[in-house]
Structure 1
Amino acid sequence: MGTVIVGAVVVAVVALIIRSMVKDKKAGKSLQCGVNCKHCDGHCH
């Protein structure tokens, strides 16, 4: 039972991280561009 709970927590954390990354990407932020894609002239996509 403990394994199921820990697995669910891990899946939830990963889902939140992915959601945050997608939200940042839509807002024009990206880690490859120093968190600001407006200044990379589209080269980081």
Structure 2
Amino acid sequence: MLSFLSENLGTIVVAAVLAGLAVLAVLSLRKDRRKSPCGMCGGGCSHCSRSCHSDH
């Protein structure tokens, strides 16, 4: 088991970093979606039709 870990340490580290970045991306998307009044456009109206914002 120890030899497997030492032979594949680089792959394990890269996979862990990529998994961490994926988790951070998902958390960021969830946070942005919660901030938005409609949950669809991320709160910025520069790229949406504004149909979800009643104050515009």
Q: Same fold (TM over 0.5)?
A: yes
> What is aligned with 2:43?
36
* Structure with higher helix content: 1
1:9 counterpart letter in structure 2: V
Cα RMSD after superposing both structures: 2.8
The TM-score with structure 1 as length reference comes to: 0.67
> What is aligned with 2:29?
21
Number of residue-to-residue matches in the alignment: 40
Runs of 4+ displaced beyond 2 Å: 35-42
Structure 2 stretches lacking a partner, 5+ long: 1-8
Structure of greater Rg? 2
Structure 1 stretches lacking a partner, 5+ long: none
Within 1, Cα distance between the matches of 2:36 and 2:18?
27
8 Å CA contact 2:36–2:43 kept in 1: the answer is yes
> What per-residue deviation string (whole Å, max 9, x for no partner) do you get for residues 3-34 of structure 1?
0000000000000000000000000076x63x
- Identity over aligned pairs, percent: 25
8 Å CA contact 2:32–2:43 kept in 1: the answer is no
